[in-house]
Chains A and B, each alone.
Chain A
């Protein structure tokens, strides 16, 4: 056959192009997975922000109440009331590390 060499070259070029196409599809699949993961992280961030806002608003209210009670306890010289107010503030402080651990787990998934 006169064009046998051309046919062989055509076949090898076709195989090379097919492998390039496989590579293009692999890149496209990788980009699609990246886009999905980015959306997943954005959603996690939204949920984590909601929890953080709720936690902070609760703690702000408890803290302001505890400070008012502390002021009142100091004014009337009531030790028990002052100790209760301090216990409230300490309990609130001890909740922060546990909350932020759960917050970062929600944010990053680990």
Chain B
């Protein structure tokens, strides 16, 4: 072919986004009517199918939410009951120990006081209060020691009974 000979070609852009269209062949009115009717039925069937899909997904999501809430609440209540039970058991043991310790301390101080009182009654007859003074000094030392032990016992029990709770998410709107 020579350079002067140009082949003229018709060029047109094709539309890629064009949807495929149904080609309807109008054979006769009855066929067209039946075709249209069944087309409408297909559309309705598709719509019902899609609606059922949405409905089922929604129901599943609702059930999941309900289950999560129920499970979460049950877990929290169960953990709370367990911790309260543990606290109660520990408290029973601690109170028993504390009562025993306090009773022993009171008995020791009572016996010291009784000894001093007996010495005072004796000294009133003999008019010699030196023994009373010595016994009083010993009673003071004993009471001070016992009170010191009681304070140390209180310190130790308050340290041992620290409550450590697990960190939890703060609810929204919680003001710090």
Contacts and interface: CB of A to CB of B under 8 A. Distances in A.
Contact of B91 (A33, A43, A87): A43
Interface string A74-90: 00101011001101100
Contacts of A57: 106
B172 A50 contact: no
A51 B98 contact: yes
Contacts of A39: 84, 87-88
B95 interface: yes
Contacts, number: 166
The dominant DSSP class at the B interface is helix
B168 interface: yes
B124 to A, nearest CB: 8
Interface residues of A, number: 61
A36 B140 CA distance: 42
Interface of A: 1-3, 6-7, 10-11, 14, 17-18, 21-30, 32-33, 35-37, 39-40, 43-44, 46-47, 50-51, 54-55, 57-58, 61-62, 65, 68-69, 72-73, 76, 78, 80-81, 84-85, 87-88, 91, 95, 98-99, 102-103, 105-106, 109
- A-B pairs, 5 with minimum CB distance: A54-B102, A32-B80, A14-B61, A25-B72, A27-B171
